[in-house]
Amino acid sequence: MSPHRTLTAACLAIAPLFAGCLGSDASTEALEITAEHEVDLSFSTYYTARRDVRRCAYPQCGGFFISAVNQEKTTCADGTTAEECYVADLQFSSLLRLAGVEGVVRESIGLQRETTRAVLYGDLFPGTSGLGTLSLRFAWVALETAELKGSFYRVLHNGVVCVAAPCPSFDQEYLNSGTARTFHEVHLREIPGAGRDEFDSGTALFSSLGMILTGQNVVIEDYGPAGDAVVFRANQGFLPVIMPSIRGLRAPAEPPVFDRGFRSGIEGGEGGEGGSGGIRNTSTQ
């Protein structure tokens, strides 16, 4: 199954996560709407965006400039390629409208792509103005602004549990490439605001939607009894926009247990004994 089609199933899988906020009737409707509108995501693309602050009449100005992540060039609505493409507006999917997050997404798009708080997933088409519209299927939003360094990945826990560490418990999709790999541990402590979203980070990573992270993979030799480990060091994290902390709601009081079975110190290369790969929000003493 392609990563894009996997996201279709992910939207269905995560609907219960916000069922309590929307109510049972709305949750059922969300599932139906998702099934109808997210069925074909084969050609959708992940973008970052910046606001257009040029001074001229709308729709020629006042929209957004978008750029495909992990790509040197972006294919625009008219078929041309450029470093970034102008779109007059964003068109939100029924799922996003149902969740009431249109304002959150627009607010998260800043003046520079390099520090944006939003990753947008959707399709470009000319729109009624002919200047381009981004049909937005879904979005991930960061809690705080940070300079984006490294490549963009969608990261999620794959359910693998091992008898010895390191354990390849995480999958990472290199966005807009269709390629994926497994790795052992993810470190979130360099992400601004990481301490405020521990519940949602855990929920997202253990759901099918995952988190979108920027950063890099680091190989730690002799990490544990099972050998070397690939650790992803994130410098920015984007949560699914329907998560409580993004929507301004209070998360449950009891956060989940992130490390399943072992915890190890990356700086010292000190391995653990077994279990599932770890999620780190704080430094190990």
Neighbours of 72 (CB within 10 A): 8
Query: Residue 254: CB partners within 8 Å, gap ≥ 6?
Result: none
Cα–Cα distance for residue pair 265/103, rounded to 1 Å: 40
* Amino acid in the structure at residue 152: F
How do the pLDDT tens digits run along the chain, 285 residues long?
444 444 434 443 443 443 333 443 444 344 334 534 443 444 589 999 999 999 999 999 999 999 999 999 999 999 999 999 999 999 999 888 888 899 999 999 999 999 999 999 999 999 888 899 999 999 999 989 999 999 999 999 999 999 999 999 999 999 999 899 999 999 998 998 765 667 788 888 998 889 999 999 999 999 999 999 999 999 999 999 988 777 765 443 333 333 323 233 333 333 444 555 666 664 333
From the list 158, 145, 121, 136, the residue with the least C-alpha distance to 214 is 145
